[in-house]
């Protein structure tokens, strides 16, 4: 009761437990609550590929990292201040992430002999007792016992009661960070409205956790993080995949094109399907096809019929869609292909992040098969990028590849959401009839953007045939003529290149317009690069940061921009992909920094890599 | 018949459906007849040209759309069914036709074919079965008979063939029928029936590839053997065949048996064809034995099965309407705003 509250700027909490312990829910509830008080935040959920990996083991550990602050922040944090460890395996996996002197909240029941053995601690060793955690502030709580105690009056099995353990922990953290718990109560009321016992047990467990904080005297202070100084506006929290789905819906509304999603479930892209399927009242048609090939093919069929055709997937599914993407390039119809990248090759690391499909997006099809490629940098950025992908697709009559990744897809952050009146409508023109003097519809006649008309079935007088065989320029008839083929290859390429005239020039995210180092990034490395650049700039170093949204074509001024720095550094979560393209296109001696461990690049790593370049 | 389409005016003729593209099938190919019959029946359907879309995969047969003055797409190998599914889902008012081969629709695209059938999009699948890969110059296909000697199987193929109509029944197709290139009248009737069915129609067409598999269906199509070997199904009529119309098929329990009429057996004792009988349709599809085998059954042609079942595109539209009726039309601003927001001054 009398515990004083300390105001702090910045906290990173890692919730870690067995994948059955409900850590993702705990983390996301705490995140929503944090968002509502106006902190800036960034999250990183990290979970095993198996739904229920062997209980208590190291591979079964599921984690949720939340970074929140009264300052602007751009990453989930390189290390954490607080580690919630529901069992021994969770401690084992995450201890190295904890800052020296950091807080450990350990559920002692998860450190019994069985759990210690499952986590592969040597016989008789217990990290909570043997000095392993002596450099940290350790709080041992028997969450299981306390939860059961709190729920003793509720008629339900012990197993069911134990499911509320995570809520006890959540309640305790709400106490520790001085929170109003209403947001979680509302969530639980919605979720368990038809299951009153579960609702009651969850609420009781949260309250017990909160009260536990009040009654034990172990903690010498509670904490408070003030509102962040974000740009003024209306905010909400959002994850990458939700923002991406909203971007597609907004684009559908603002182009008046009905949205059709043809897709096949795959981690970490499925949530886009789930989200869109919930919003059929926007006239959205979601089609869970028999495989990825059918998913993209159906989307092509829908686009051919005048809908906004979209297909979503991740690496292995991208591989399957390849041939159909080539068809879309030949047909020159609009299509948005979303790849939420994950670790590869093959099935690879389904729940881990990677940026290793860029070269595939660029080059991975048979024949000369150019396609615009754009990428997302942060969870909320997914909204704008999805919107932009649609704009390019329908205004340039081309399939567009949108690259996001697992880290962005599942991560969340505050979003200054737009209103429809702020969105630039997407103009679409269908060809409705023959023009004056036009005798026959010419499906491959092009305008100044090299774009052909979109004439959809049902339009009288424009009946025509298209297909994957090489087209004769203008008429679209099948043609095997050698000169025609070369001309068509060049035209398709030029059409994509011309998009550069219809996208913004590249800007610097931060730093001097010329100087020692330009860090050139794309995708989910945004936050780490931004933070590292800021740190070095504060030290007076000449470091700039540019982050590419448009990967193909590149913004017109990019080549010139690269000339303004002594060093170009390209950090990527892959074995060096953007760098190959940059070197090829601009003949610059760019340096790579690569990390291929299924986890994001950290600010700390980048600071040292950039510092080496400066030295 | 599609209910949402309005008849075109003035009346079209077969010629109106031809294009200026030179037809490039081998002379004598069965595809010519199929093209002609399709062009012949379309004016009778009253469908306006602009509302017809023909989608094909890859193969000799799949060149079809280029020769039809409608909307058309010659797509990629095996995927016409999947492309058509997306088109029909979003444009239910269009008349969508799929042209596919035995390789295209049953080998590389077999998966999409069965899934389209179970979903029951209201489209017409014309399966040009020549029991060979024509375009790639004569390899055996998933409908080729066992031991078939082809370029890729000089010692004879080892594969057991698909029975396409039994496969379609297994996928719960709502309409299945068989016809042949060499019987224009019958083919026209079957095309009209397929078009009239509200749901996925699978029409298997025996098509002669005179270059790589000449005569594959001769026994069913040629005057001399046709009456004995081909059994023409008619709804409500007994299963009778033979040059003298003196043979029939009777059901002995679940077992079909060939009987001679007259010997104490008359038409009333025979199996009376009922297109709506799901169980008997499955037995009919199994009259599929090797015509060179002693005591084999004749091969049935006609409509095996036709049943009403909700179409996918209709259910999809209804679901959207219901959700809109319940929740109201989506409002972008409330979606973007969500439930929990805060203001930064
Ligand atoms: C992905 C792919 N694999 C292989 C081919 C080569 N290919 C073209 S048509 C065909 C088989 C065609 O047989 P079928 O579908 O029976 O058509 P037909 O030519 O007999 O009418 C093959 C293997 C291709 N075009 N695409
Ligand atoms: S190869 Fe056979 S199927 Fe192909 S066009 Fe020639 S005859 Fe017809
Ligand atoms: Mg064939």
Measured between CB atoms, which of B72, B82, B316 is closest to A293? B82
Using CA atoms in the order A271, A273, A274, A276, what is the torsion angle rounded to 10 degrees? 120
- Rounded Cα–Cα distance for residues B315 and B322 (Å): 10
pLDDT for the residue numbered A221? 87
Find the B299 Cα to ligand 3 centroid distance in Å: 20
Atom 24 of ligand 1, nearest CA residue = B77
ipTM of predicted assembly, 2 dp: 0.96
CB contacts, 8 Å: B105 with chain A: none
Atom 2 of ligand 2, nearest CA residue = B209
Give me the DSSP letters along B248-275.
Answer: EEEEETTEEEEEESSSS--GGGSPBP-T
Q: Which residue ranges in chain B fall short of pLDDT 70? A: 1-10
CA nearest to A282 within chain B: B330
- Rounded Cα–Cα distance for residues A115 and A144 (Å): 14
CB neighbourhood size of A460 (10 A): 12
Q: Is B107 in the pocket of ligand 1 (CB under 6 A)?
A: no
Domain residue limits at B70: 14-216+310-316
pLDDT tens by residue, A4-51: 899 999 999 999 999 889 999 999 999 999 999 899 999 999 888 777
Summarize the confidence of residues A426-455 as an average pLDDT.
96
Measured between CB atoms, which of A235, A297, A305 is closest to B342? A235
C-beta of residue A269 within 8 angstroms of C-beta of residue A276: no
Does the beta carbon of A463 lie under 8 angstroms from any beta carbon of chain B?
yes
The answer to whether position B171 is within a domain reads: yes
Q: Which token pair is B82?
A: 């999947």
Class of domain A5-225 (CATH, top level):
alpha beta
pLDDT for the residue numbered A566? 98
Q: Which token pair is B153?
A: 């199987």
Q: Which token pair is B34?
A: 């199929």
Cβ distance of A287 and B86 shorter than 8 Å: yes
Q: Is B211 in the pocket of ligand 2 (CB under 6 A)?
A: yes
Q: Which token pair is A241?
A: 């995949």
Q: Is B161 in the pocket of ligand 1 (CB under 6 A)?
A: no
Please report, rounded to a whole number, the percentage of residues in chain A having pLDDT higher than 70.
100
- Rounded Cα–Cα distance for residues A598 and A341 (Å): 11
Cβ distance of A462 and B74 shorter than 8 Å: no
pLDDT for the residue numbered A132? 92
Counting the structural domains of chain B, the total is 1
Domain at A515-614: CATH architecture:
3-Layer(aba) Sandwich (3.40)
Angle between helices A165-176 and A23-36 (to 10 degrees): 30
pLDDT for the residue numbered A218? 79
Characterize A114-149 residue by residue with b for buried, 16 or more Cβ atoms within 10 angstroms of its Cβ, and e for exposed: ebbebbebeeeebbbeeebbeebebbebebbebbbe
Q: Is B104 in the pocket of ligand 1 (CB under 6 A)?
A: yes
Query: Going edge to edge, which strands form the sheet with A399-405?
Result: A285-288, A259-263, A308-313, A335-341, A399-405, A373-375, A550-552
Does the beta carbon of A345 lie under 8 angstroms from any beta carbon of chain B?
no
Give me the DSSP letters along A441-456.
Answer: --TB---TTSPPPB--
Q: Is the peptide bond before A268 cis (omega within 30 degrees of 0)?
A: yes
pLDDT for the residue numbered A333? 98
The answer to whether position B81 is within a domain reads: yes
Angle between helices A240-255 and A381-396 (to 10 degrees): 40
Q: Where are the alpha helices (DSSP H) in B15-121?
A: 31-45, 80-90, 102-103, 110-119
Ligand 1 closest atom vs CA A323: 1
Find the B150 Cα to ligand 3 centroid distance in Å: 13
pLDDT for the residue numbered B61? 98
- Rounded Cα–Cα distance for residues A352 and A517 (Å): 30
The answer to whether position B77 is within a domain reads: yes
Please report, rounded to a whole number, the percentage of residues in chain A having pLDDT higher than 90.
95
Ligand 2 closest atom vs CA B28: 7
Does the beta carbon of A32 lie under 8 angstroms from any beta carbon of chain B?
yes
Collapsing DSSP to helix, strand or coil, A231 comes out as: coil
Ligand 1 closest atom vs CA B130: 20
3-state secondary structure A386-415: HHHHHHHHHHHCCEEEEEEEHHHHHCEEEE
Does the beta carbon of A468 lie under 8 angstroms from any beta carbon of chain B?
yes
Residue with tokens 């040629």: B222
Does the beta carbon of B156 lie under 8 angstroms from any beta carbon of chain A?
no
Find the B69 Cα to ligand 2 centroid distance in Å: 22
Q: Is B97 in the pocket of ligand 1 (CB under 6 A)?
A: no
Ligand 1 closest atom vs CA B107: 15
Give me the DSSP letters along A356-396.
Answer: TTHHHHHH-SSSS----EEE--STTHHHHHHHHHHHHHHHH
Give the gap in angstroms from C-alpha A402 to the nearest C-alpha of chain B: 21
pLDDT for the residue numbered B6? 52
Summarize the confidence of residues A413-435 as an average pLDDT.
97
A151, A179, A314, A525, A595 from A584: Cα distances, Å:
65, 53, 27, 22, 22
pLDDT tens by residue, B228-241: 999 999 999 999 99
* Interface-testing mutation among A298, A366, A471, A478, with chain B (most B C-beta atoms within 10 A): A298
- Rounded Cα–Cα distance for residues A325 and A306 (Å): 18
* Interface-testing mutation among B18, B83, B108, with chain A (most A C-beta atoms within 10 A): B83
Does the beta carbon of A72 lie under 8 angstroms from any beta carbon of chain B?
no
CB contacts, 8 Å: A462 with chain B: 50
Characterize B130-159 residue by residue with b for buried, 16 or more Cβ atoms within 10 angstroms of its Cβ, and e for exposed: bbbbbbeebbbbbbbbeebebeeeeeebee
C-beta of residue A86 within 8 angstroms of C-beta of residue A107: yes
CB contacts, 8 Å: A324 with chain B: 76, 79
Q: Which token pair is A497?
A: 């290149």
The answer to whether position B244 is within a domain reads: no
pLDDT for the residue numbered B3? 47
> Which has the closest alpha carbon to B101: B247, B212, B21?
B212
Cβ distance of A465 and B68 shorter than 8 Å: yes
pLDDT for the residue numbered B338? 94
Does the beta carbon of A250 lie under 8 angstroms from any beta carbon of chain B?
yes
Angle between helices A270-277 and A240-255 (to 10 degrees): 50
Main-chain phi, psi angles of A96, to 5 degrees: -65, -20
Q: Which ligand has the shortest distance to the CA of B107?
A: 1
Collapsing DSSP to helix, strand or coil, A593 comes out as: strand
In sequence order, the 6+-apart residues with CB closer than 8 A to the CB of A433 are: A459, A460, A461, A462
Q: Is B130 in the pocket of ligand 2 (CB under 6 A)?
A: yes
In sequence order, the 6+-apart residues with CB closer than 8 A to the CB of B315 are: none
How high does pLDDT run on average in chain A? Answer: 96
Furthest CA-CA distance within chain B: 99
Find the A10 Cα to ligand 2 centroid distance in Å: 73
Does the beta carbon of B130 lie under 8 angstroms from any beta carbon of chain A?
no
Q: Choose one of B110, B133, B210 to mutate for the ligand 1 pocket test, by most ligand atoms within 8 angstroms of C-beta.
A: B133
Cβ distance of A294 and B85 shorter than 8 Å: yes
CA nearest to B72 within chain A: A465
CATH number at residue B29: 3.40.50.970
Domain ranges of chain A: 5-225, 236-422, 429-503, 515-614
Q: Which token pair is A13?
A: 């909490």
Q: Is B129 in the pocket of ligand 1 (CB under 6 A)?
A: no
Q: Is the pLDDT of residue A342 over 70?
A: yes
pLDDT for the residue numbered B1? 39
Does the beta carbon of B342 lie under 8 angstroms from any beta carbon of chain A?
yes
Interface of A with B in 404-443 (CB under 8 A): 416-420
pLDDT tens by residue, A497-522: 999 999 999 999 999 999 999 999 99
pLDDT tier, A164 (very low <50, low <70, confident <90, very high otherwise): very high
Find the A369 Cα to ligand 1 centroid distance in Å: 22
The answer to whether the predicted template modeling score (pTM) of the entire model surpasses 0.80 is yes
pLDDT for the residue numbered B196? 98
Give the gap in angstroms from C-alpha A596 to the nearest C-alpha of chain B: 35
Q: Choose one of B56, B133, B134 to mutate for the ligand 2 pocket test, by most ligand atoms within 8 angstroms of C-beta.
A: B134
- Rounded Cα–Cα distance for residues B191 and B37 (Å): 8
Q: Which token pair is A588?
A: 């610059």
Ligand 1 closest atom vs CA B31: 21
Find the B131 Cα to ligand 1 centroid distance in Å: 12
Residue with tokens 């172990």: A218
Collapsing DSSP to helix, strand or coil, B194 comes out as: helix
Domain at A236-422: CATH code: 3.40.50.970
Beta bridge partners of A335: A399
Q: Do domains A5-225 and A515-614 have the same CATH topology?
A: no
In sequence order, the 6+-apart residues with CB closer than 8 A to the CB of A615 are: none
């Amino acid at each position: 009761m009398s515990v004083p509250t300390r105001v702090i700027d910045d906290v990173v909490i890692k919730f870690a437990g067995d994948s059955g312990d409900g850590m993702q829910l705990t983390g996301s509830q705490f995140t929503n609550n944090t968002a509502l008080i106006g902190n800036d935040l960034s999250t990183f959920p990290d979970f095993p590929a198996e739904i229920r990996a062997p209980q208590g083991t190291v591979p079964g550990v599921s984690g949720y990292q939340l970074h929140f602050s009264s300052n602007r922040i751009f990453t989930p944090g390189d290390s954490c201040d607080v580690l919630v460890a529901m069992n021994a395996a969770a401690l084992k996996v995450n201890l190295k992430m904890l800052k020296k002197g950091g807080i450990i909240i350990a559920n002692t029941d998860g450190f019994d002999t069985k759990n210690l053995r499952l986590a592969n601690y040597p016989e008789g060793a217990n990290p909570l007792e043997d000095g392993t955690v002596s450099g940290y502030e350790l709080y041992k709580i028997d969450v299981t016992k306390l939860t059961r105690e709190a729920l003793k009056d509720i008629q339900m099995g012990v197993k069911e009661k134990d499911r509320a353990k995570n809520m006890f922990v959540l309640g305790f953290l709400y106490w520790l960070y001085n929170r109003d718990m209403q947001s979680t109560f509302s969530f639980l009321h919605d979720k368990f409205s038809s299951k009153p016992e579960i609702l009651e047990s969850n609420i009781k467990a949260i309250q017990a956790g909160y009260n536990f904080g009040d009654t034990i005297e172990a903690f010498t202070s509670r904490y408070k993080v003030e509102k962040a100084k974000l740009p003024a506006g209306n905010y909400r929290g959002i994850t990458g995949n939700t923002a991406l789905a909203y971007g597609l819906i907004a684009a559908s509304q603002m182009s008046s094109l009905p949205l059709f999603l043809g897709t096949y479930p795959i981690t970490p892209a499925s949530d886009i399907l789930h989200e869109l399927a919930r919003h059929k009242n926007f006239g959205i048609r979601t089609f869970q096809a028999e495989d990825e090939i059918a998913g993209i093919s159906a989307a092509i069929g829908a686009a051919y019929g005048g809908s906004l055709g979209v297909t979503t997937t991740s690496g292995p599914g991208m591989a399957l869609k390849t041939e159909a993407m080539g068809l879309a390039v030949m047909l020159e119809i609009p299509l948005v292909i979303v790849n939420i990248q994950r670790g590869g090759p093959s099935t690879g690391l389904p729940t881990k992040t990677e940026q290793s499909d860029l070269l595939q997006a660029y080059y991975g099809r048979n024949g000369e098969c150019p396609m615009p490629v754009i990428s997302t940098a942060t969870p909320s950025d997914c909204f704008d990028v999805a919107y932009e992908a649609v704009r390019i697709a329908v205004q340039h009559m081309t399939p567009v590849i949108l690259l996001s990744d697992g880290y962005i897809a599942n991560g969340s952050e505050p979003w200054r959401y737009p209103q429809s009146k702020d969105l630039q409508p997407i103009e679409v023109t269908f060809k409705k009839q023959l023009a004056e003097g036009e005798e026959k519809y010419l499906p491959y006649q092009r305008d100044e953007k090299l774009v052909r008309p979109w004439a959809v079935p049902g339009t009288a007088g424009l009946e025509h045939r298209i297909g994957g065989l090489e087209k004769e320029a203008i008429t679209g008839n099948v043609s095997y003529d050698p000169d025609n083929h070369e001309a068509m290859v060049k035209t398709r390429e030029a059409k994509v290149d011309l998009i550069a005239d219809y996208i913004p020039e590249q800007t610097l995210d931060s730093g001097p317009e010329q100087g020692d180092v330009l860090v050139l990034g794309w995708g989910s490395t945004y936050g780490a690069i931004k933070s590292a650049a800021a740190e070095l700039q504060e030290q007076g170093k000449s470091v700039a940061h540019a982050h590419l949204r448009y990967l193909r074509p590149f913004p017109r001024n990019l080549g010139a921009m690269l000339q303004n720095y002594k060093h170009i550094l390209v950090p990527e979560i892959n074995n060096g992909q953007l760098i190959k393209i940059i070197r090829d296109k601009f003949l610059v001696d760019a340096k790579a920094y690569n990390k291929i461990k299924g986890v994001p690049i950290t600010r700390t790593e980048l600071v040292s890599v950039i510092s080496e370049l400066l030295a | 018949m599609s209910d949402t389409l309005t008849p075109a005016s003035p009346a079209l003729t077969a010629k109106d459906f031809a294009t200026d593209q030179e037809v490039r099938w081998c002379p004598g190919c069965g595809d010519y007849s199929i093209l002609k019959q399709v062009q012949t029946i379309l004016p009778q359907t009253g469908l306006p040209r602009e509302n017809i879309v023909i989608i094909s995969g890859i193969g000799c047969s799949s060149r079809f759309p280029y020769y039809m003055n409608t909307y058309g797409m010659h797509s990629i190998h095996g995927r016409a069914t999947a492309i058509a599914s997306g088109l029909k889902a979003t444009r239910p008012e269009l008349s969508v036709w799929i042209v596919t081969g035995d390789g295209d629709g049953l080998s590389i695209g077999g998966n999409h074919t069965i899934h389209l059938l179970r979903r029951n999009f209201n489209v017409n699948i014309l399966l040009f079965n020549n029991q060979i890969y024509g375009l790639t110059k004569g390899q055996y296909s998933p409908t080729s008979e066992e031991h078939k000697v082809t370029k890729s199987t000089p010692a004879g193929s080892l594969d057991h063939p698909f029975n396409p109509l039994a496969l379609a029944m297994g996928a719960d197709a709502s309409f299945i029928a068989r016809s042949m290139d060499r019987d224009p009248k019958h083919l026209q009737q079957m095309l009209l029936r397929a078009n009239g069915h509200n749901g996925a129609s699978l029409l298997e067409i025996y098509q002669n590839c005179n270059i790589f598999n000449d005569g594959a269906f001769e026994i069913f199509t040629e005057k001399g053997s046709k009456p004995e070997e081909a059994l023409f199904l008619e709804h409500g009529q007994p299963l009778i065949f033979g040059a003298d119309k003196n043979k029939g098929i009777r059901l002995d329990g679940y077992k079909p048996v060939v009987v001679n009429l007259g010997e104490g057996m008359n038409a009333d004792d025979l199996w009376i064809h009922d297109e709506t009988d799901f169980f008997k349709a499955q037995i009919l599809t199994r009259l599929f034995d090797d015509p060179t085998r002693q005591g084999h059954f004749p091969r049935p042609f006609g409509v095996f099965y036709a049943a009403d079942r909700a179409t996918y595109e209709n259910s999809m539209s209804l679901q959207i309407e219901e959700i809109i009726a319940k929740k109201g039309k989506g409002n972008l601003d409330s979606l973007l705003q969500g439930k929990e927001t805060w203001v930064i001054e």
